[in-house]
Structure 1
Amino acid sequence: MNTGLPADQGNDLTRGFVPFPTDRAEVYRRAGYWTGRPLDSILTEAAATWPDKPAVIDSAQTYTFRELDAAADRVAAGLAALGIRPGDRVLLQLPNSCQFAIALFGLLRAAAVPVMCLPGHRTAELGHFAEVSGAVALIVPDEAGGFDYRDMAGRLAAEHPSLQHVIVDGENGPFVAWSSIRDFDGPAVERAAVDPGLPALLLVSGGTTGLPKLIARTHDDYVYNAVASAQACEMTAEDAYLVALPAGHNFPLACPGMLGSMTVGAPTVFTADPSPENAFALIDKFRITVTGLVNALAKLWAQACEWEPVLPTSLRFVQVGGSRMSPEEARFILERLTPGMSQIFGMAEGMLNFTRPGDPEDVVVHTQGRPMSPHDEMRVVDESGDGVPPGEEGELLVRGPYTLNGYYRDDDANARSFSPDGFYRTGDRVRIFADGPRAGYVEVVGRIKDVIHRGGETVSATDLEDHLHTHPAIYAAAAVALPDEYLGEKICAAVVFRGKPITLAELNAFLDERGASKHARPDVLMPVRSLPTTAVGKVDKKQLVAQLTS
């Protein structure tokens, strides 16, 4: 990978960062989207407005906004005493808990830049993040989910000399104890001024090929992201948000997630166990009203409403995203889990689309929402880059007040991913409805590259998966290409069955009844126990193909 950085310039935060163009930045300021606030001001203002209200809650403890604000100050002082300077990048990989929130705001309060690693990331990904970002420290748990993060941290520190500090929450061994930073009792540090146009944190991309890329989100754009998301979900101080997905991911962090909830004074409850039994108990105990789920988890929760003794009756609004739902799946969730379901189509790179509270069921079931901001710009283009007529399919290109202008320190990816006038190429195939009640709403048709080239025909994997998911014997399915000597690629349906598997002949007879194209029929049917997923909950087709061909 070409970072475009001389070796002696890797420690400068601005190197390899692509800022917003001056003219567009001024438009966003005049519109009131950008307010010049540092990201940690979300907590500062919440502590001033709702000091004694619970801010974050987990199975072990609760912090009020005042207590969380004070804890962030102590962490900032402890980090400064350790040698962390403003602008330093720090890999943050803590599980869903109050400690995650304390660490995040402590880093922001120290004017350091958290790199938002996910619990499933391992040595390859973290080493990549350390190399690209020039991170000087790593914060991890001692153990979580049966995995010893200390062993990994030791290998990373040995392989990446820039990682000068390893901070461990729990039994720390030879590393710095997180408790010594969290409970630091030395002198406070003066808050460093930050440029709101520079990165506040680095998110990671959720692609299924190659190593994840780093996404620089500025103070200006990410504050707006959190505030506007909470407004789109009509959140108030009477709500309570459950973080059931990995907290470092953009979705449960700021769409609206923890940060959006804080802007209205709503508490955030963390869980590392999103099983229906555990989650429903938390929802009942804390009267959770809003949460965000990937599609597979939402479907599991909806099914579990048939047998769980405690039901999530307080939920008023559940965002569901991560991959496209069929209308049948959307109706199932609406009927079984909550009538307040919202489809969300977004990305850590920025652009967010929501269906809103009060949208007609037809819109909620058949679309993936409309843009969050009036200044979100969307183009739908064909393979030549030319715009398609309204209502027709093509690749979605976007830019706006919270969409990145370039990946962090990745010139090669930026050359591929952006148009000459700064539109981000999402790689998603969509149509934007031109008229009727769905006008302005987006339907995600599939991925530009999520196709199978079989015998000269191009087959949409997403379209085939929509058909497969309607079969009553199928719980989950993914369509992938396998190499074939004669066809070039053959179609493989990897299927998780609800009970007794059906045969390939039975499946194709069903597809025939559905009216599916003949060239889209699977050549191979592979029953699997589960579908592998990426760290953010999407089906990992690269890993699936590797499993099927090994």
Structure 2
Amino acid sequence: MSWPAEVAARYRAEGYWLDRTLDHWVAEPAYPGKTALVSGEHRISYRELAGHVAELASGLLAAGLRRGDRILVQLPNRWEFVAVLLACLRTGIAPVLALPAHRDNELAYLARHTGARMIVVPGTWRGFDHAAMATRIAGALEWPCRVAVCEDGPPDWLRAPAGPTERPDPDDVAFFLLSGGTTGTPKLIGRTHNDYDCHIRHTAPLAGIGPDTVYLAVLPAAHNFPLCPGILGTLAAGGTVVLAPSPEPAAAFALMAREHVTTTSVVPAVARRWVDAATASGPPAPALRLVQVGGSMLEPDLARALPVALGCRLQQVLGMAEGLICYTRLDDPEELVTGTQGRPVCPADEVRVVDDGDVDVPEGEIGELLTRGPYTTRGYFGAPEHNARAFTADGWYRTGDLVRRLPSGHLVVAGRRKDLINRAGEKVSAEEVEQLALDLLDLTAAAAVPLPDPAVGERVCLVVVPRGAAPALAEIRAAFLAHGVAHYKVPEQVEVLDALPLTAVGKVDKKLLRAGLVPS
């Protein structure tokens, strides 16, 4: 689904869409000799990055791909991820950004749903053979699909002498992000060049990103949060991106100190570990200026402790891959920085807070957040039935977040309407976990609920009603993993009941379930 013609014309007239592609800074970088990427032992200049991108763009076309084709890219935080992404942006080939944690279950669905013609993976990553998985999935498709394995760089056959390429239209889909939605399969969000360029231009300045920025990417690069302004915003500004394989404090702090990191983005579970480590050992790096925290609610006590422990400013972020981004501002008073999740970054962002009947609630009262704007999608890829529920007829996106709006425009998240489990920033669909449990185990009923967890924020608890003998947690986990389910979706606790409690309308009463599982 695209923006109505009159809305698109207004965004152009008002300067929100500039009709340029996201790679506009790559071909003639402003800082050719400066380090663009640090990835392990690799230090890649802007000139070298431009060369890699040009060769990969030609290589993709030489492999038979064309503008509008879709490929799966499942790469960890390494320089190849950035180079392949930028090569796709140049050619109009739309990459579907899969997470390294995805396994056969998720990747096979994405390949079929998008008609993927190539799968780009590492060889073996953290003990898992991604190349073998990609080969299995590609071989099961009814159309040709090549597998490109990036070991120490992309394969030679994916490179070709740089030459002219067909340029995409700025309204083309630049790449697909994955939604953390509540339905059993992830929804694909097609982000266009125009909308994401607007996204970058309105977030980067508010995070103080410029040529002197050294951004540490510790969250999976395929997520919207580290991509923007993070990786893409820093590169567009002429800064340096440091790609970290892990957010664990020891490794992250060492990189911060070595590379003089100024800026990074984390989820609350990572923030908590960093604060604990820094409290014990001292601030990680004197150059660190800003830590953005988003992905789930940040507790006020942690918000107050973070600047002290890490020796930097905190910026709270409320964002979604579908579009809307809210930031606290660098000059906001402390009570707004620690007690809110920010306000919209773009003047054209439209926000409503509504009740169950879609009627706007009075300021300060809790309601569901609805939004639309120049970088908020108008619909998911290939999901008309879901779009009818997730979007209003006049283009408002139903976020599922429950918020209240302050007179300043800042939003405070009060919960969520969506049935999600937020595990270390990864959004797990309860419906998907429940359906997998019913498919894989001998159960009468199943319900997945989030339970508080000090390490990851929320853990996945599966409540089951067995047909016969109750399955043990080890049996459940083994069945999920054998089916190729991403590890972060695998239940970490199991509870057995004779029946699931129901609401008056016959739905599973998850509020009552959680109340019985969480100690008072």
**The 10-residue stretch of structure 1 (318-327 or 332-341) with the greater mean CA deviation from structure 2:** 332-341
Of 116, 128, 140 in structure 2, the residue corresponding to residue 147 of structure 1 is 128
Displacement of 1:35 in angstroms is 0.7
- TM-score, with normalisation over the residues of structure 1? 0.77
Output the CA distance in 2 between the equivalents of 1:428 and 1:152.
35
Structure-1 residue corresponding to 2:205: 231
What are the superposed Cα offsets for residues 463-486 of structure 1, whole Å, 9 maximum, x if unpaired? xx9xxxxxxxxxxxx9x99x9xxx
Output the CA distance in 2 between the equivalents of 1:273 and 1:77.
32
Output the CA distance in 1 between the equivalents of 2:370 and 2:230.
25
1:179 matched to 2:152? The reply is no
1:36 matched to 2:19? The reply is yes
Displacement of 1:208 in angstroms is 5.5
Residues 149-548 of structure 1: matches in 2 within 5 Å? 149-170=130-151, 178-181=154-157, 183-184=159-160, 186=161, 188-207=162-181, 209-254=183-228, 256-308=229-281, 311-434=284-407, 439-449=408-418, 493-496=451-454, 543-544=490-491, 547-548=494-495
Displacement of 1:543 in angstroms is 4.8
Displacement of 1:448 in angstroms is 1.4
| Amino acid corresponding to residue 132 of structure 1 in structure 2 | H
Output the CA distance in 2 between the equivalents of 1:192 and 1:489.
49
1:375–1:401 CA contact under 8 A, matched in 2: yes
1:368–1:442 CA contact under 8 A, matched in 2: yes
Pairwise CA RMSD: 3.0
| Amino acid corresponding to residue 324 of structure 2 in structure 1 | M
Displacement of 1:179 in angstroms is 2.4
Where in structure 1 are there 5+ consecutive unaligned residues?
1-17, 172-176, 452-460, 466-477, 499-538
Equivalences, count: 453
1:62–1:98 CA contact under 8 A, matched in 2: no
Displacement of 1:253 in angstroms is 0.9
Output the CA distance in 2 between the equivalents of 1:544 and 1:423.
34
Identity across matched positions, percent = 40
Output the CA distance in 2 between the equivalents of 1:250 and 1:496.
24
2:92–2:172 CA contact under 8 A, matched in 1: no
SS at structure 1 position matched to 2:280: coil
Displacement of 1:314 in angstroms is 1.6
Output the CA distance in 2 between the equivalents of 1:71 and 1:545.
42
CA shift in 2, pair 1:60/1:540, >3 Å:
closer
Output the CA distance in 1 between the equivalents of 2:111 and 2:280.
45
Structure-2 residue corresponding to 1:513: none
**The 10-residue stretch of structure 1 (390-399 or 441-450) with the greater mean CA deviation from structure 2:** 441-450
Output the CA distance in 2 between the equivalents of 1:257 and 1:68.
17
Structure-2 residue corresponding to 1:502: none
CA shift in 2, pair 1:497/1:391, >3 Å:
closer
| Amino acid corresponding to residue 412 of structure 2 in structure 1 | E
- TM-score, with normalisation over the residues of structure 2? 0.81
What are the superposed Cα offsets for residues 100-155 of structure 1, whole Å, 9 maximum, x if unpaired? 11111122222211111111111111111112211110000001111110121121
What are the superposed Cα offsets for residues 175-211 of structure 1, whole Å, 9 maximum, x if unpaired? xx93214543x4x331213221121111111236522
1:19–1:197 CA contact under 8 A, matched in 2: no
Output the CA distance in 2 between the equivalents of 1:268 and 1:490.
38
1:201–1:218 CA contact under 8 A, matched in 2: yes
Output the CA distance in 2 between the equivalents of 1:309 and 1:441.
32
Of 19, 27, 50 in structure 1, the residue corresponding to residue 31 of structure 2 is 50
Displacement of 1:161 in angstroms is 2.8
**The 10-residue stretch of structure 1 (369-378 or 273-282) with the greater mean CA deviation from structure 2:** 273-282
1:290–1:316 CA contact under 8 A, matched in 2: yes
Displacement of 1:249 in angstroms is 0.8
Output the CA distance in 2 between the equivalents of 1:319 and 1:239.
14
CA shift in 2, pair 1:163/1:130, >3 Å:
farther
Where in structure 2 are there 5+ consecutive unaligned residues?
435-445, 457-485, 498-520
1:19–1:198 CA contact under 8 A, matched in 2: no
What are the superposed Cα offsets for residues 292-344 of structure 1, whole Å, 9 maximum, x if unpaired? 00110011011101334772322101100111112112112122124401110
Output the CA distance in 1 between the equivalents of 2:389 and 2:377.
14
Output the CA distance in 2 between the equivalents of 1:194 and 1:388.
42
CA shift in 2, pair 1:59/1:208, >3 Å:
farther
2:283–2:309 CA contact under 8 A, matched in 1: no
Displacement of 1:496 in angstroms is 4.4
| Amino acid corresponding to residue 445 of structure 1 in structure 2 | A
Output the CA distance in 1 between the equivalents of 2:31 and 2:128.
37
2:283–2:310 CA contact under 8 A, matched in 1: no
Displacement of 1:277 in angstroms is 0.8
SS at structure 2 position matched to 1:383: coil
Output the CA distance in 2 between the equivalents of 1:150 and 1:490.
31
Displacement of 1:394 in angstroms is 0.2
Structure-2 residue corresponding to 1:115: 96
